[in-house]
Amino acid sequence: MERPRHQGMAKNTYMRWRLPLVCLLWEVAMIVLFGVFVRFSPEADAHWEEEKQELNLTSDMENDFYFRYPSFQDVHVMIFVGFGFLMTFLKRYGFGAVGFNFLLAAFGIQWALLMQGWFHSFKNGKILIGVENLINADFCVGSVCIAFGAILGKTSPIQLLVMTLFQVTLFSVNEYILLNLLHVKDAGGSMTIHTFGAYFGLTVTRILYRPNLEQSKDKQGSVYHSDLFAMIGTLYLWMYWPSFNSAISEHGDAQHRSAINTYCSLAACVLTTMAFSSMLQKKGKLDMVHIQNATLAGGVAVGTSAEMMLTPYGSLIVGSISGIVSTVGYVYFTPFLESRLHIQDTCGIHNLHAMPGLIGGIVGAITAAAATEDVYGKEGFIKAFDFTGAYQTRTPSVQGGFQAAGIVVSLLMAFAGGAIVGGILKLPVWGDAAAENCFEDEVYWEVPEDEESDVYHMHNPDKPASP
Amino acid sequence: MERPRHQGMAKNTYMRWRLPLVCLLWEVAMIVLFGVFVRFSPEADAHWEEEKQELNLTSDMENDFYFRYPSFQDVHVMIFVGFGFLMTFLKRYGFGAVGFNFLLAAFGIQWALLMQGWFHSFKNGKILIGVENLINADFCVGSVCIAFGAILGKTSPIQLLVMTLFQVTLFSVNEYILLNLLHVKDAGGSMTIHTFGAYFGLTVTRILYRPNLEQSKDKQGSVYHSDLFAMIGTLYLWMYWPSFNSAISEHGDAQHRSAINTYCSLAACVLTTMAFSSMLQKKGKLDMVHIQNATLAGGVAVGTSAEMMLTPYGSLIVGSISGIVSTVGYVYFTPFLESRLHIQDTCGIHNLHAMPGLIGGIVGAITAAAATEDVYGKEGFIKAFDFTGAYQTRTPSVQGGFQAAGIVVSLLMAFAGGAIVGGILKLPVWGDAAAENCFEDEVYWEVPEDEESDVYHMHNPDKPASP
Amino acid sequence: MERPRHQGMAKNTYMRWRLPLVCLLWEVAMIVLFGVFVRFSPEADAHWEEEKQELNLTSDMENDFYFRYPSFQDVHVMIFVGFGFLMTFLKRYGFGAVGFNFLLAAFGIQWALLMQGWFHSFKNGKILIGVENLINADFCVGSVCIAFGAILGKTSPIQLLVMTLFQVTLFSVNEYILLNLLHVKDAGGSMTIHTFGAYFGLTVTRILYRPNLEQSKDKQGSVYHSDLFAMIGTLYLWMYWPSFNSAISEHGDAQHRSAINTYCSLAACVLTTMAFSSMLQKKGKLDMVHIQNATLAGGVAVGTSAEMMLTPYGSLIVGSISGIVSTVGYVYFTPFLESRLHIQDTCGIHNLHAMPGLIGGIVGAITAAAATEDVYGKEGFIKAFDFTGAYQTRTPSVQGGFQAAGIVVSLLMAFAGGAIVGGILKLPVWGDAAAENCFEDEVYWEVPEDEESDVYHMHNPDKPASP
């Protein structure tokens, strides 16, 4: 009989021509645009030998590659393994979690190299890319991975690609407003990546609200092994977050400091998460959902301030608070958002990225406003906030105000952008599955028909036993 | 009926108020102590700009961050993914393995930053931390992860936190005695981390001896997939061990040499482990327990000597021997320790850390005693053993003697400390589970009630089928 | 009754004395040869202090360790976790995939240090090794891991060790011919690693053709979780491939450029792979086999040219094409190779390494032939192709010709070497399993006898239920 799958077909999840067409067209567009615009930065160009002499550099070590490449690789792991595996907790959506994350991120980084390139690395008609551009492209895509978390299991790969296209564009505009127009500091992206990405995703999932989602409720949970796969994602995000927050900070002390602050914040966050996970459970048992997610809130919450003189104990405080807020969010806010506001947030990105992102923005504003020449040193003060040129008269408290404005702008961009993109994704042409087939890999993937899988298919008893 | 769980309750494994209280109190204590004591090292402080000028440094590359950060991240992965996943081999204790390791390590690194800071980075009333402190904190916690391996599955999270508190303290004292009072070299921690950590853990598990542990025997084994998860831990430990042993060596040749020696030792260790794993089995088949563990002994066994002129062939010899010793240990010593000495060593840390750690200490003593100016060069000789100041007249053979003394001190600290801490952990207030519930995640974790899990619960046939 | 296992015994897969003997003898040989030949390079030797003064180096940062160690660790992860887990897709061969890969790679790197050392680092009767040698040894072993993919599940561990011994030897000879005699550039190893390794493996598997392999057909597929384990391998290969292709490039711009080109190529490859995976399926669903493998073809295909001025859009083009070729290969070529040419290619290395490797060689030849002083700069041009000494008059088009010759030599070496080694491996003394026991861990491994495993053993109904 196979009713569920027929209904899925009724919604036409057939991808055979649509998905290839979108992928190939966009890749061709990328090739053309890269051909017209993208070239190597001087440090990656074979002319570097001459560049070195001009700049009087005595060592190849001065090439930015050596300052940032190890952090780049860590960030790269966070985007593809970290986010990808974090979302494999669903019992029957592991292929979609890892695979679609892979697809959207691979497309997104190409488009981000262009979009961010036009805003930040455009010179004589060409975008000149180096390792820092690669990191920024990964960062930008990170915000899409975050939004993906809200709609995980409920969208087709084409919808994800469309969302990526728009979100990367909006991200780049928002980032340009914050970093260039408001002259805001946000090296770890509490505002640009997390606040923007999360509220964007939450708005999209609100617009795509599915009233009958309880039909696939049996698949919204985890199984024992899928929780362990998810922990791979969690741990790589947790371990490499110091690299994330320090990857594009200034050379020297700023990178060093960012890593230390983030390390401290994350360590504290684990303890408060464990405490509240146990405390908020009648039986006092720990919940893997919290351990997989809320332990990371500490990294989000120092995203803006990690490169500032937040100090290690400041980081512990921020990390502790964000672990609590995030865990409480999973227990109380997520059900509320779903039942009252019709926001179906599969991974709980409101708890892991949205609220900690806001905390991060606020902590950044306060830390900036509280900066003094005494704490930073005269030169360090100017360097830390880039108070040069047009900004050389800006005071810390004014900077704090602009930082706060950055939060507001990010929120507005996220809500407006999410609403528009959500509306586009609601069009009935993208091949998303019916409610009863959500969170199910079989809709878009060839799933191995093996003995083991029988156990999973209790909802589909008419299916013939596998050979 | 659910007898096992009722008995568990009889031992009161209810964590709801105890675990949160301990976590929160300790985190508050960390915040206060960090607030009073911890600040950034000059290389992570915004005053670095001025520091650079004072030190006449021409490049930000001279910041210690760039010498050590990549190694730090590798070590970080070893502690959280390496040790965490290595212990997921148990069929029903994957959450506890990864999750409790995460908890104790996150707490431990904070406390280690303080303890080691007071001993080694204390200046004008403040602990100044940089990337090397982060590495050392991870190292210190590594010794706790090792001890955790002996008691895996048999303790409550509170017991683990209490053990961490004491073990980090004792580790720091022992490390101070070795490195500062005895002026011993131990960059990869054969003595301070492995010998100390393992014998400490073995003493604790001896004191916590559970005579009825065979009641949970069905859960002490692995399943097919859990063995693959464990291999993730194994391989990350194996691959990144060269970073572990070189992370805090002197800049330049010492770091370079440590990595090479460790690489060689580990490669040899794999071959002898495979050989003996097959040889010691009547059927000649390979045993995943050996492959998961004994292949790492080569990293432990060059922990002290890797930064010395051990030479690549010396490393091959040490690695070969330690693989053999470790595999033989799993086959013959572990059963003996359990049946005769009542030492229940879940992960076999005696084979992976204790014996190879001793080998490492001895090899280090011999290598130091055999050092000559000819082999090291005049300046290299002084630099390698830090024969400056009060130690400028120390000879290699005397150094060898002190190295040997370091082993003895580490053993004594481990036995004495383990006995005291074991006694504390034996108090009936920490919420550990009854023997028949050991090695079972359900005691402390919300475990997903899914179809698949039915298969595992054959010991509990009265449990209603999952919804 | 257990017919299958009896037949396995009939082929005598008993390893107890043979495997230990081979492992131990070879390890002893390694120790002796290392003792006679291998010493530290000046940068890893304690004499470095004096070396620094001679070379007028002002900073320890100039030690090659800091230029290459992060890339080395990434490559190391690719070899052991990347290749190891990529091959765990088989439902009952996860131990063999990860474990035998571990064994052969650990042996191979030792032998490669010697073989490559004699050819490239031999000075005054000694092989002087540093971090670049470690990378090259990993590279060399990479080609063995590739060949392993073709014969996965069908060979005994002894056969793998024998193959490793010969393949490493032939690899080193081929590499010497290419790099030293033909003066060819191939930093990412499209020719030396991929083309050679893949065609070598394909030739071996052709010679070892098993006509009755369909007897173990039920085990040649994946299960849901094994596909997720394989994705760990895929993602680590994908993420770290920029490090692979840049690891041994010249310091500075060349390493920087290699990483960027590879990043771009791989991103494009994901999109075309997804497109063709869906397009070539009647139901339009994505196939994990393609996602796990063809997404990596972009890294292979820029292996030669990544360090050249391929440009980002050039990389996108190469990556796009190789993704298409590779996916088409899985759908059409693999069945053809098996049915018509009797080439049984378990992992489809023809699609992932052989064809993309050829593309890589050709792209490299074209890119070299098209090089101009204008594009590279005068000094950059000479440096990029090492047009110094005997080669200072070589023109780009001549270089292109030599590059093309490199492909041909690699192919010839692979076919000839593979035929000889395949013949040796066909001797009936190595303990390989009967056709019906292929792709089954139980032949060489102690497999946990747990509840879960029952599900897998439907082919063996007489086996008593586990306790």
Residue from the list A49, A60, A229 with its beta carbon closest to the beta carbon of C380: A49
Residue from the list C76, C109, C452 with its beta carbon closest to the beta carbon of B455: C452
Name chain B contacts of A376, Cβ cutoff 8 Å: 46-47
Calculate ∠ Cα A193-A197-A199, nearest 5°. Answer: 130
pLDDT for res C216: 86
> If you average pLDDT over residues C103-122, what whole number do you get?
97
pLDDT digits (tens, 9 = 90+) for C302-323: 999 999 999 999 999 999 999 9
Residue B142 pLDDT greater than 80, yes or no: yes
Structure tokens at B3: 């007898």
* Collapsed DSSP state (helix, strand, coil) of residue C445: strand
How much of chain B exceeds pLDDT 90, in percent? 90
Bridge partners for A123 per DSSP: A126
C interface test, pick of A50, A58, A73, A89 with most C CB neighbours within 10 Å: A73
For residue B376, give the amino acid letter: Y
Closest CA of chain A from B34, distance in Å? 5
Which of B158, B193, B128 has the alpha carbon at shortest distance from B25?
B158
The percent helix, strand, coil of chain A (3-state, each to 5) is: 70, 5, 25
Q: C49 or B139: whose pLDDT is higher? A: B139
Please check whether residue C179 is in contact with residue C186, taking contact to mean a CB–CB distance below 8 angstroms: yes
Q: Within B353-395, where are the H helices?
A: 355-369, 373-376, 378-385
> If you average pLDDT over residues C6-20, what whole number do you get?
74
Look at B380 and C30 and tell me if their CB atoms are within 8 Å.
no
> If you average pLDDT over residues B287-305, what whole number do you get?
97
Position A39 confidence tier, pLDDT thresholds 50, 70, 90: very high
**Domain architecture of chain A: domains with CATH:** 71-426 (1.10.3430.10)
State residue C126 phi and psi, 5-degree precision. Answer: -125, 150
> What CA–CA distance (Å, rounded) separates A72 from A243?
8
Look at B231 and C70 and tell me if their CB atoms are within 8 Å.
no
For residue C278, give the amino acid letter: S
State residue B280 phi and psi, 5-degree precision. Answer: -85, 5
Residue B395 has a CB neighbour count (10 Å cut-off) of 12
pLDDT digits (tens, 9 = 90+) for C374-396: 999 999 999 999 999 999 999 99
Residue from the list A251, A285, A379 with its beta carbon closest to the beta carbon of B50: A379
Calculate ∠ Cα C68-C69-C72, nearest 5°. Answer: 90
Name chain A contacts of C225, Cβ cutoff 8 Å: 94, 225, 452
- C48 in contact with B at a CB cutoff of 8 Å? yes
- Please, which chains are in contact with A (at least 3 CB pairs closer than 8 A)? B, C
pLDDT for res A8: 40
- C55 in contact with B at a CB cutoff of 8 Å? no
Return all residues near B454 (Cβ < 8 A) that are at least 6 apart: B465, B466
Helix or strand holding residue C122 (H, E): strand C122-123
> If you average pLDDT over residues B53-58, what whole number do you get?
91
Return all residues near B231 (Cβ < 8 A) that are at least 6 apart: B288, B291, B292, C84, C98, C99
Name chain C contacts of B305, Cβ cutoff 8 Å: none
Interface of A with B in 212-241 (CB under 8 A): 221-225, 227-228, 231-232, 235-236, 238-240
Name chain C contacts of B61, Cβ cutoff 8 Å: 59, 61
Residue A458 has a CB neighbour count (10 Å cut-off) of 10
> What CA–CA distance (Å, rounded) separates A260 from A243?
10
pLDDT for res B216: 87
H, E, C per residue of A310-332 = CCHHHHHHHHHHHHHHHHHHHHH
- Please, which chains are in contact with C (at least 3 CB pairs closer than 8 A)? A, B
State residue B212 phi and psi, 5-degree precision. Answer: -105, 30
- A338 in contact with B at a CB cutoff of 8 Å? no
Name chain A contacts of B157, Cβ cutoff 8 Å: 274, 286
pLDDT digits (tens, 9 = 90+) for A162-171: 999 999 999 9
Length of chain A: 467
Residue B7 pLDDT greater than 80, yes or no: no
Q: Distance of CA A418 to CAs A201, A350, B120, C141, Å?
A: 7, 14, 52, 48
> What CA–CA distance (Å, rounded) separates A413 from A406?
11
Q: Looking at chain A, which residue has its C-alpha nearest residue C68? A: A66
Look at A312 and B39 and tell me if their CB atoms are within 8 Å.
yes
- Please, which chains are in contact with B (at least 3 CB pairs closer than 8 A)? A, C
Residue from the list A44, A80, A445 with its beta carbon closest to the beta carbon of C260: A44
State residue C352 phi and psi, 5-degree precision. Answer: -90, -35
Name chain A contacts of B39, Cβ cutoff 8 Å: 311-312
pLDDT for res A217: 86
- B383 in contact with C at a CB cutoff of 8 Å? yes
Closest CA of chain A from B52, distance in Å? 10
Considering chain C, what is the average pLDDT of its residues? 93
Residue A467 pLDDT greater than 90, yes or no: no
- C209 in contact with B at a CB cutoff of 8 Å? no
Residue B55 pLDDT greater than 70, yes or no: yes
Q: CA C151, C156, C160, C166: dihedral to nearest 10 degrees?
A: -100
Q: Distance of CA B122 to CAs A122, B107, B247, C357, Å?
A: 48, 21, 21, 56
> What CA–CA distance (Å, rounded) separates A178 from A414?
13
Look at A98 and C228 and tell me if their CB atoms are within 8 Å.
yes
Look at B44 and A257 and tell me if their CB atoms are within 8 Å.
yes
- A62 in contact with B at a CB cutoff of 8 Å? yes
Please check whether residue A48 is in contact with residue C253, taking contact to mean a CB–CB distance below 8 angstroms: yes
* Collapsed DSSP state (helix, strand, coil) of residue A393: coil
Residue C189 pLDDT greater than 90, yes or no: yes
pLDDT digits (tens, 9 = 90+) for C326-363: 999 999 999 999 999 999 999 999 999 999 999 999 99
pLDDT digits (tens, 9 = 90+) for B394-447: 999 999 999 999 999 999 999 999 999 999 999 999 999 999 999 999 999 999
Position B450 confidence tier, pLDDT thresholds 50, 70, 90: low
State residue C169 phi and psi, 5-degree precision. Answer: -60, -50
Look at A66 and B70 and tell me if their CB atoms are within 8 Å.
no
> What CA–CA distance (Å, rounded) separates C202 from C204?
5
Q: C217 or A226: whose pLDDT is higher? A: A226
Closest CA of chain C from A45, distance in Å? 6
Rg (CA), chain C: 23
> What CA–CA distance (Å, rounded) separates A203 from A350?
11
How much of chain C exceeds pLDDT 70, in percent? 94
pLDDT digits (tens, 9 = 90+) for A210-221: 999 988 888 999
Q: CA B243, B245, B248, B253: dihedral to nearest 10 degrees?
A: -80
Residue C273 pLDDT greater than 70, yes or no: yes
Residue A458 pLDDT greater than 70, yes or no: no
pLDDT digits (tens, 9 = 90+) for A349-372: 999 999 999 999 999 999 999 999
Please check whether residue B34 is in contact with residue B466, taking contact to mean a CB–CB distance below 8 angstroms: no
> What CA–CA distance (Å, rounded) separates A73 from C244?
12
pLDDT digits (tens, 9 = 90+) for A172-191: 999 999 999 999 999 999 99
Return all residues near A210 (Cβ < 8 A) that are at least 6 apart: A154, A344, A435, A438
Structure tokens at A449: 């028909």
pLDDT for res C215: 87
Look at A383 and B46 and tell me if their CB atoms are within 8 Å.
yes
> If you average pLDDT over residues A359-386, what whole number do you get?
96
Name chain C contacts of A131, Cβ cutoff 8 Å: 256, 259-260
- A46 in contact with C at a CB cutoff of 8 Å? yes
pLDDT digits (tens, 9 = 90+) for C406-443: 999 999 999 999 999 999 999 999 999 999 999 999 99
Name chain A contacts of B448, Cβ cutoff 8 Å: 91, 221-224, 227, 288
Q: B220 or C326: whose pLDDT is higher? A: C326
pLDDT for res A10: 56
- A307 in contact with B at a CB cutoff of 8 Å? no
Residue from the list A20, A26, A447 with its beta carbon closest to the beta carbon of C224: A447
Look at A286 and B60 and tell me if their CB atoms are within 8 Å.
no
pLDDT for res A12: 86
